[in-house]
Chains A and B, each alone.
Chain A
Amino acid sequence: MMATAEHGSGLQIKPMDQFVVKPLFGDGPIEWYTPTNVTLWMGIAILAMVALLVLSTRRRAIVPSRGQSVAELFYGFIHKMVEDIVGHEGLKFFPYVMTLFMFVFLSNFLGLIPTSFTTTSHIAVTGTLALLVFVTVTVVGFVRKGPAFLAMFWVTSAPLALRPILALIEVISYFVRPLSHSVRLGGNLLAGHAVIKVFAGFAGAMGVASFVPVLAIAAMYGLEVLVSAVQAYVFTILTCVYLRDAVGEAHH
Chain B
Amino acid sequence: MEYGAPRYLSGYPNDGVTMVDQETLEAKVVMTTDANKEYLKFMNEMWNLGYLDKEVFMQKDDQYKAKIASGRVIGVYDQRWGIVDSLNALEKIGKDDRNLVAFPVTIDSAEREYYRGPYAIVMQGISITTSCKDPEGAFRFLDRMAADDIQKLAIWGIEGEDYTLVDGKFTRTAEQWNNSFDLEYTRAQGSNDVFNNFPRRERTDNETYAKFDDGNWCNPSMDPEYADLRYKDYEKQILKDYNIKTLNDFFAPAYPARYQPGWAVRQQLPQDSAEYISIDKALAIANEWHAKITQAPPGDFETLWEQYQAELTAVPGLAEYEAEATRLTQESAKYYGD
Chains A and B bind each other: no
By a beta-carbon cutoff of 8 Å, the part of chain A in contact with chain B is: none
